Amino acid sequence: MTMKNKPIEQKIVDTLKVNYMPYAMSVIVSRAIPEIDGLKPSHRKLLYTMYKMGLLKGAKTKSANVVGQTMKLNPHGDMAIYETMVRLTTGNEALLYPLVESKGNFGKTYSRDMKFAAPRYTEVKLAPISEELFRDIDKDTVDFTDNYDGTSKEPVLMPSAFPNILVNPNQGIAVGMASNICSFNLKEVCDATIAYIKNDNIDLMKYIKAPDFSTGGQLILNEKDMEKIYSTGRGSFKVRAKYRYDKKNNCIEVYEIPYTTTIEAIIESIAAIIKSGKIKDITDVRDETDLAGLKITIDLKRNSNPDEIMNKLYMMTPLSDSFGCNFNILIGQKPMVMGILDILDHWIQFRMECIRRKSLYEIKKKSNHLHLLKGLAKILLDIDKAISIIRKTSKEAQVIPNLMKGFDIDELQAEFIAEIKLRNLNKEYILRQTADIENLTKEIEDLKDIVARDERVLDIICQQLKEISDKFGQERRTEIIDEEDVEKVSPETFIEDYNVRLFLTQQGYIKKITLVSLRSSGEQKLKDDDFIMQEQETRNKADLLLFSDKGQVYKLKIHDLPDTKASQLGDYLENVLQLDEGESIIFMHATENYEGHMIFGFENGKAAKIPVSSYATKTNRRKLANAYNTNFPLAGIYFLDQDTDFVAYSSISKVLVFNTSQISPKTTRNSQGVAVLKSKKGSRMTRIISLEEIKLNDPEYYRANIPAVGKYIKVEDKEDTQIGLF
């Protein structure tokens, strides 16, 4: 390898500094982040080109013409420039107050697939409101800089006479940072700015009620969240579509959608829902957008509730979407995230500077004119002398010096007098011209007063904002709805409810079979040596508690279990619940309201009555430890919807009948309970069971107040018990 081809070693940090950082800063400062005039460089170059082309007045011109001219300021490709223009047009509807008036197809901001026509077909000119962006731009209100090749000048900022940064939306992704500014109503912004100029302590929410979007829709207002956005420049809020119900055709017509989404995204999302069967009342969805405007039509089945369906669609589709705010703006080439009042502060300071610079420009211009008129006034004293000096001067070059000497005026004044036409060298003309001296003097003094006093400048800003508000202000497009007035829709709303029967087998399989299916089904399919241990009728929206032999309870939403048939084995709970090794389910209970009690009998003769509400949790926990006491083996587990008679059996064939009302409920799930069956000769309680499930010829014979030893089982009851048990 030659020395020439030998790679140069360089630390990665140094490489980033030399190569990457300049690129990152260029993207931030010169491309992606808007400045205080509300424009990015690409927007500014395009608009200024149109201004210089005279497109503020007069007829429209072909877009291709504008694109070509803009390339003198913007070195990017023609399509990049055209796409920038498209977003600014009235036809595209991306801006709340479009800056470019358009003719032809410019696509729509709310459509992903509706493409704009080529620039050779479309026509544009500057919209009337753009005049306020350029107000007094030719009067030294802003700085100008060289274009990329130094052949012409372009403005560093536009002297925007209204806070365009807040009035039109702006989004940009730079390197390591981004900007996302929502649009606000022009009238509201102007009123807020005027109020803020007059009083620093204003409640911004009284003036700027909420953002306003070109696509309309409904904004769900949470005042705390909005106040946070207003103060910090960060946060999010929800916008949703507006719709109407066409009773004649039994369909929903969506005619305004969130600014952040598109027709295609909404239709695709609804189509997926129809296909999955999550909402069965929708039969079709289609795009019927035409020249009259946006329209998405959703066909419904008969007797469907359109409001309920829309509430579901708001939750499941982009018909309701969030707008994330990030008010990142370049101030003096430095990116800053600011709240609205901070933005207005910077805009007011910027606008004050523009007005002062315009005033200084006019002072200079008027002072120069005044100076010339004062020279003209001097010859009024002796017009004949001026004519005589000019006529008697032999050389043209001596005319100016001779006039200067003859009337004690300077060169500029002499030049001005010398250029007056012969026909105007009369008293009437000169008197008419010099009559403005007094007015000019007053105007100059007034302009100097404006420059010197902030109050005068701020009054001018307020006056201009009032004029702009009256001229271009429009009603809100986005409707505001208080969050409290919005119907809350939970995920449970989307779950279909119907009657089911659950089957739990000894080997740990569970089946959920609809009652409709159960009526027409045959024999239950089970594995060899397996049997149905428990069954219960319930509803699809209920919760299921599954108690294990390890003292734990597992919770399931019944709708999470798939519907099965009698001819299927069902779901294996070890896989569904992720059971511990050697753990098995011994009891299930379905509940819709967590009412009633669980009763646990233990071999030590005690029983615990635990409210089912003890197993309810606010979070969707799937597993609860300490479901019941595990110090002694279980003798039985049952659900009580109300107190009833139970039978307790001991290992020495003694029987006790008692009522569960004698057992006090315990809120602690792993309570040891109270004594029910007393032990005798080391006996233990082997089983408890509801009296309804056991046939005893004389139950009262065994009844006693607990705790009790019980009585030996009669021979005739032994037979009945055996029959009942198997």
Q: Are 158 and 304 in contact (CB under 8 A)?
A: no
Whether 82 is catalytic is no
pTM of the model: 0.77
Q: What is the pLDDT of residues 281-329, one digit of tens each?
A: 899 999 999 988 999 999 999 888 899 899 999 999 999 999 999 999 9
Mean pLDDT of each 10-residue bin along the chain, 726 residues long: 62 79 78 92 96 94 96 90 96 96 96 94 97 96 93 95 96 88 97 96 94 96 95 96 94 96 96 87 93 93 90 93 96 94 97 96 94 83 82 86 88 86 76 84 94 96 97 96 82 76 93 84 85 92 93 91 88 90 93 93 94 87 90 93 93 92 91 91 90 88 91 80 42
Specify whether the CB–CB gap between 600 and 607 falls below 8 A: yes
Q: Which of 62, 161, 488, 529 is nearest to 315 (CA)?
A: 488
Q: For the chain, which residues make up each domain, given as ranges?
A: 18-181, 242-318, 353-471, 495-574, 593-726
- Residue 5: its pLDDT value, please? 64
What whole-number distance in Å separates Cα of residue 205 and Cα of residue 395?
75
Between the alpha carbon of residue 12 and those of residues 22, 26, 175, 265, 369, the distances in Å are 15, 20, 18, 42, 63
- CATH architecture of the region 242-318: 2-Layer Sandwich (3.30)
CATH no. of 593-726: 2.120.10.90
CB 690 within 8 A of CB 646: yes
Query: How far is residue 34's CA from residue 42's CA, in Å, rounded to a whole number?
Result: 10
In this structure, are residues 370 and 437 in contact, taking their beta carbons and an 8 Å threshold? yes
CATH, domain 18-181, list 1.10.287.370, 2.40.110.10, 3.40.50.1370, 3.90.199.10:
3.90.199.10
Give Cα separations from 229 to 236, 345, 483, 538 (angstroms): 7, 16, 16, 47
The Cβ-side half-sphere exposure at 706, using a 13 Å CA radius, reads: 24
- d(C-alpha 699, C-alpha 175), whole Å: 84
- SS3 of 26-55: HHHHHHHCCECCCCCHHHHHHHHHHHHCCC
| Half-sphere exposure at residue 373, Cβ-oriented, CA atoms within 13 angstroms | 18
Instruction: Return the pLDDT at 493.
Output: 66
353-471: in CATH 3.40.50.620:
no
Name every residue whose Cβ is closer than 8 Å to that of residue 596 and which is 6 or more positions away in sequence: 611, 612, 639, 640, 641, 642
Task: Note the pLDDT of residue 725.
Answer: 37
The active-site residue out of 23, 121, 498, 712 is: 121
Give the single-character DSSP code of 660: G
Q: Greatest CA span in the chain, whole angstroms?
A: 159
Q: Please say whether the beta carbons of 647 and 637 come within 8 A.
A: no
Q: What pLDDT, on a 0 to 100 scale, did the predictor assign at position 491?
A: 65
Sheet holding 282-287, edge to edge: 242-246, 251-256, 296-300, 282-287
Euclidean distance between the first and final Cα of the chain, in Å?
92
> Which residue(s) pair with 600 in the sheet?
608, 637
Query: What's the half-sphere exposure (Cβ side, CA atoms, 13 Å) at 200?
Result: 2
* pLDDT tens by residue, 456-497: 999 999 999 999 999 999 999 999 999 988 877 666 666 778
Residue 464: count other Cβ atoms within 10 Å of its Cβ.
17
Show the 3-state SS of 340-405.
Answer: HHHHHHHHHHHHHHHHHHHHHHHHHHHHHHHHHHHHHHHHHCCHHHHHHHHHHCCCHHHHHHHHHH
Percent composition of the chain: helix, strand, coil (DSSP 3-state, to 5): 40, 25, 40
* Cβ atoms of residues 571 and 561 within 8 Å: yes
pLDDT confidence of residue 726:
30
| pLDDT at res. 724 | 41
